[in-house]
Amino acid sequence: MSSEPAPPTGDDNDWYLDSCASIHLTKTVDNIANPKCQTGMKINTINGSSLDIKSVGNAKIPVRVGQNMDKIVAHDVFYVPGISTNLLSVTKIVEKGNTVIFGEEGGKILNNSGEVIATASPGLNGIYKIDSGCQSSSSSPLSTAYLSQASSLLFHRRMAHLNRCRMRQLKDMATGVSDSNLDITCEVCAMGKQARLPFKPSKHRAKDPLELVHMDLSGPMETESLGGSRYFLAIIDDHT
């Protein structure tokens, strides 16, 4: 499971459509009716850390469609302390037979009868917020800055670790791509570009067999062996 948690600064009543999330997530357990405890489950964050899933249940989400107020039910919503906002997984919405449409004026969720059951307004960084009619208690500039940084790094990884120059070109070719934090360091790129220096010749030789053994596992190889193996282990006894 993966998502994009940020510092906890968003409003508890705000819900956002997320095309990247594989599950529904909420930052507060109060949004879940009859929560059931979950143990041993985690979600992975974009910075490589993980957050614990505490409970799961259904959430009744207030929505405003035109002048009408209503509530929709999101099933299997996971409570994860530490995420910044409540996220509705587009994938899970579609799996229930609904349709999600995004356009310049915002987003729409249609049920299997074609009826609009919820709308969403475009916000900062291309994130669509569910129209609920509820006034947010506070703005979240810190969360916005964090998401901008996260978005840049996330796009960088999804584009096969594209370099900064190409990332800046990419923002002019697609919507929702930020270049405001392209100076952040990608640890994977840094490690991948490191070259291991050759080992210095050893002046010591083992005096007895099996006193010192050198081993190296290689693979996976492109061509399998006759036995179907793609790895091989080289073993050299230092004495013999």
pLDDT of residue 84: 81
All structural domains of the chain with their residue ranges: 15-135, 199-240
Mean pLDDT of the chain: 79
| Residue 163, token pair as written in the block | 């370099």
| Residue 169, token pair as written in the block | 């070109």
Q: Report which residue type is found at 33.
A: A
Please, what sign has the CA dihedral across residues 125, 130, 135, 137? negative
Name the nearest CA neighbour of 74 among 57, 86, 58: 58
Low-confidence ranges of the chain (pLDDT < 50): 1-9, 137-150
pLDDT of residue 146: 38
CA-based R_g, the chain, Å: 25
pLDDT of residue 76: 92
Q: How many residues appear in the chain?
A: 240
Each residue of 76-99: pLDDT tens digit? 999 988 888 899 999 999 999 999
pLDDT of residue 200: 81
Name the nearest CA neighbour of 154 among 175, 129, 184, 131: 184
Name the nearest CA neighbour of 7 among 88, 82, 87, 86: 82
CA 25 – CA 37 distance, rounded (Å): 15
Place of tokens 């940084």: 149
The residues near 98 (Cβ < 8 Å, ≥ 6 apart) are 109, 110, 111, 112, 117
Give the right CATH number for 15-135 from 1.10.357, 2.40.70, 3.40.50, 2.30.30. Answer: 2.40.70
Each residue of 131-144: pLDDT tens digit? 986 655 444 443 43
